[in-house]
Structures are given as structure tokens and as C-alpha cells.
A = this chain, B = another copy of it.
């Protein structure tokens, strides 16, 4: 304790100072007195916990894939199958308002910085102090490193005031790495015990929430009483599942990138001489690129998921861009904007193979370099490697990420594509296939300039609500849960707060490739890719050709904090069907109705019709849930 905070001088100015005064909006469940209880439809009994909080024990949750349930339940015997919970206002003014017992809660930024992260902490802090002024919030300095080494600071209102609604993770600094070793798990337990933590809250993406699940399970297993709660915070927006509609930071970063992309579209249309190739963040999933395309209506986007799905080679990708340039050139348009995610390169099959070979070689020999690597690659990989421009060759051999993989943010895929396209357009010009103007490319990487942004109203509200939710979930004694907020596309007043077991979000990856990799991975919360059958992608395909040809650019402008549009969220969120909890409720209502009709004493024909209908429903759902059926669906 007692370590100094990063920002020594409190000098918020201008808009930052105005934003520090913003009071995030929270849904009704968090507005009056609070109660954690299982939603009515789960509930078969209610247990009075403490004060006004009620917890109902209901149906257990499960993984989405039937085939993963065994593996997850074996790996997580103590935390698999826990029920979903929902927060609900405990009722009118007469509800019990007894305060909670004081708690000691620890919190750490465990992923990469994402706008809104600070608000998770302020939401947690405000909820905790509102229930008991003697509760204590302890921040770990530097994420997991801070947990292992017990570098902490007790957070006070005074410390937090300059971080309310601010971007970045500079209150505490962020983690450098995921939890990797058994020793680190033991260190984390030792820290929780030494600090007498009732709760540990981890803020981050898929990796962080997998870590949270692992710690929760280990703590239960080894008799440590600290509860663990995860919060879904990542700019990539790829922690998506039945319980999680979007992640804190995705809204803000997409808006910042879209502002810049749209500016560049306007620039392209004004100068009429350049093709802009813009690489965006998004390693394993292309949600950011998709949302930015929907926002800016730029000419073209190459989603990693599309490329992987249609097994496009580097040559195919190049040709696709060249064909687009040629078509535009024939209409006298020699400019345009092409977006791509940083993860694109990994999704091109032959590149993926090359990257895997390089990763393996690098693990064996750190001194491998541009000059000596080619002879050690397979023939196919070497052919691709030798074909690449020197700057890409070098970038492929740069320092690794903490997980040993290539630093994709350092590989200038946009320049590689621009160069390949240039070569091809020159060839087409020489052979008379293309008669338009010379192709000119300008390349940009929009990466780090959005992560530290002042969060949007949506991210401020969402993060703050998650922070408060995490408190009530943890206070109810639940562990291995993620704080969740559902119905996010509606106004804050209609949001529903709750908790979902982390194990219910897990899956097992199979058929991994490469030497030394086992056939079946460990259960984890995995990234969710862009759904090529989903509505956001459908919107893109519906407009792709007109956006390509007709320059229907749209400029959403910079993030506004007041005035019209200040509370809008992403297009992705607003058009997705993601009211999972709502639909589950609707389903239970149907069951109730059917039970109401088919009671002892009902007419024989009614019972017969009910039996045959339910048999048919059961058959259909069984068939649809079988792994064989699910793998047969397109994409």
C-alpha cells in the first residue's frame, strides 16, 4: 500500500474537466435500493442473504456447444453449471435498506487499455461506498504484475475524481501479460489472502476473463474465500456471446476510428488522386473494421473472417482490390478508401502457415534473421517469404508479443497490399488491360490513437453500470461470474444488470495445427468472430457494391458529449438481435402458457395435440443441437 499514483498533479482542463463532472446514467435496478436475486423465471426459492439482497437459486447455466460441456465441467468442477443472476430493484420505498457488511475488494486492469475502464472502477467504488463507508477498494498497480507482487494502493474518492469518465488506464497502469504459470496462480492466491480480499475484480477481454475463471476455480478448490468477478472490457469487441452484447471501449474506439476514416473519405473525394489503405486494430476478429465500414461507408473492407471463410490467397486478395480499382477507374474515379484489420494477414491461409513456421523457428532459435531464415522454412513458406518486400520480411521477425506470437500491430499489411496492388496495376496498364490513371496509395495505421480517448457517453454509462453490477454480484457471494448488462441497444432505463458464470461462456478449440500443439485446447473464453450470417455483416453485403462504386461516404464526425446523437451507440449493437435474456424470458412464458392449458382435466384432444407438438419440438431441437448439424451450416 501507499505506492504513489501515476498522475501526480491534478490538472484536468477543458473538456476533460467537464467530463469528470459527468454523472453516468444507470438502469433502474441500480437506482433505488438494491437486490440481487435470480430472475423470476429461474427462481424456485429465495434465500435471504443480508439486508435487502435476495438470491434465488435456479436453473443451472451451460456452455453454448453441447460438445464442450463435458470438457468444461471436468476442468471447472466447482464453477461449472452455476445459475445466471439478475439485479433487481427490491421494490418501493418500504423495501429494506439495511446496509451491507464492509467488504475488501481488489481491482486490476488486466487487458489492453480500453476507453471506459476507469468507470468500471468508479462504479465499483461508488456502489461499495454507498452500501458501507467502511468498505475498501484496493487497486493493483500494473495489472497481474501488481497482483503477483502485491503492489497496491487504496483508492479514495479524491484519487478517483480526476479519472471519472476519462480514457486510458493510467490510474493504475495495465497488465503486461496474462496469467501463465501455476506459480502465478499461487501468487495471486497469496495476494488475496495477504490483503484479506473478499472479492477480486479483473477488467479485460477474453484472456482476462479466462484468467478470472481459472482463479475462481482454483480459489474454491484450495479453500481461498476470495470471490472473483470479471468485466468485459476490450476495444476489439470480440468478447461476445449469449450474455455479453458488447464490450466497454468498442463504442468509443470505433467512433474515433470512424471519424478519421470518414475524414479520409472526404479527403479522397476532394483530391481525387489517392487510394487510402487503412489498417485498423482487431487481431482475431474484425468487429472494429466492420463497424467502421458501416459508420463511414468507405469503399471497401477486407474482413479477416471473409478471407478465411473463402480461403482467399494473397493473390486473390490483391486481385479483388485491383478489380475494384479498375471498375472505379472506368468510371473516372481514381481514388478510394480500403479498410483492413491488423489480423487480416493471419487469416490468409499461406500467410498463416508461414507465420506458424516462423513462430516455431523463433522459439528454437532467437537469432534467426532475414538472411538465414529462408532455408529453414518449408518450400511453400519459403516461396512466400522470398516473394515478400524486405520491409515485411523484417517486420515478420520483430520481437514477439508476450504470448510468443507475431506483433501484428507492427506488420504493415496495408503497405504490403498497396505495393502488390501497385505492381499488378502497372502490369495491367502495360498489357493494356487497364487504361485509367496511375494508382497512388497512401497508407495509414489507426491503432493506438483511439485507445486513450475520452470515453463516449455509452461507454461511460456501460462501464459504470458494470462496475456497480460487479459489486452487487460479488456482494451476494458469487464467484467465477462476469458482470453483465443486457438490452444495451435500448435506453439506459431499460438495461438489465446481472451476472453470468464465466464457464458458461467457455468453449474448447479443436483441430489446432502446428508442431507441439495438442489436438484439443483448454477450455477458455474465446474471441467471437464476426458472424457472417449476422445482421451487421448482412448490412455490409447489402450495400457493398454501391458503397464501392458510388462514394456514399458518411461522416459521423467526432464523438459528441452533448446535443443530438451524443447517446447513440454503434451500428453493430443497434441492429443485432441480442436480447438473449429477453428471449429466454419469452420462451419461459410460452412454457407457462402451455402448462396452463394442458392441466389434468383438459380435453383429450388437447392433450394429444400437446404431446405430438412437444414431441416434434423436442425432435427438432435435439437435431439442431447436435454437433454434426451445427458444423453443416454455411460458414
Contacts and interface: CB of A to CB of B under 8 A. Distances in A.
Interface of A: 6-9, 11, 13-16, 18-19, 109, 112-113, 142, 166-170, 173-174, 176, 256, 259-267, 269-274, 276, 390-391, 442, 444-446, 448-454, 550-552, 554-565, 568
A545 B551 CA distance: 47
Contacts of A18: 563-565
B442 A555 contact: no
A262 B451 CA distance: 11
A16 B555 contact: yes
B565 A264 contact: no
A226 B149 CA distance: 77
> Closest 7 CB pairs between A and B?
A266-B452, A558-B558, A168-B266, A15-B557, A263-B452, A562-B563, A169-B270
Contact of A9 (B262, B269, B550, B563): B550
Contacts of A390: 390
A328 to B, nearest CB: 14
Contact of A555 (B167, B173, B446, B558): B167
Contact of A15 (B15, B445, B556): B556
A555 B166 contact: yes
A448 B559 CA distance: 19
B266 A256 contact: no
Oligomeric state, in copies:
2
A563 B563 CA distance: 8
B264 A448 contact: yes
A7 B269 CA distance: 9
Contact of A170 (B269, B273, B558, B563): B269
A168 B563 contact: no
Nearest to A6: B269
Contacts of A16: 554-557
A260 B550 CA distance: 30
A14 B263 contact: no
A552 B9 CA distance: 7
Contacts of A166: 266, 555
14 contacts: A7-B269, A14-B568, A16-B556, A18-B565, A168-B270, A170-B266, A170-B270, A260-B260, A266-B453, A267-B452, A444-B445, A453-B557, A557-B559, A558-B560
B454 A444 contact: no
A445 B445 CA distance: 9
B263 A453 contact: yes
Nearest to A18: B564
A397 to B, nearest CB: 16
A556 B11 CA distance: 12
A8 B550 contact: yes
A92 B635 CA distance: 74
Contact of A565 (B9, B14, B168): B14
Contact of A259 (B113, B176, B558): B558
Nearest to A559: B558
Given A18-B565, A271-B113, A452 B264 contact: yes
Contact of A554 (B11, B174, B272): B11
B568 A263 contact: no
Contacts of A273: 176
Nearest to A173: B272
A554 B13 contact: yes
A451 B267 contact: yes
Contacts of A260: 256, 260, 449
A558 B448 contact: no
B169 A19 contact: no
B256 A558 contact: yes
A238 B15 CA distance: 27
**Residue picked from A166, A173, A453, most chain B C-beta under 10 Å:** A453
Given A7-B269, A444-B448, 11 more contacts: A9-B552, A15-B565, A16-B555, A19-B557, A174-B270, A262-B452, A263-B450, A444-B445, A557-B559, A562-B562, A563-B563
Contacts of A445: 444
A558 B563 CA distance: 14
Nearest to A269: B170
B267 A448 contact: yes
A6 B332 CA distance: 12
Contact of A452 (B19, B167, B265): B265
Contacts of A454: 555, 557-558
Contacts of A274: 448
A402 to B, nearest CB: 11
Contacts of A558: 15, 256, 259, 453-454, 558-560
Nearest to A11: B552
A142 to B, nearest CB: 8
Contacts of A256: 260, 263, 558
Contacts of A557: 14-16, 19, 453-454, 559, 561
Contacts of A6: 269, 551
A251 to B, nearest CB: 13
A370 to B, nearest CB: 12
**Residue picked from A16, A265, A276, A391, most chain B C-beta under 10 Å:** A16
Given A16-B556, A564-B18, A442 B448 contact: yes
Nearest to A556: B14
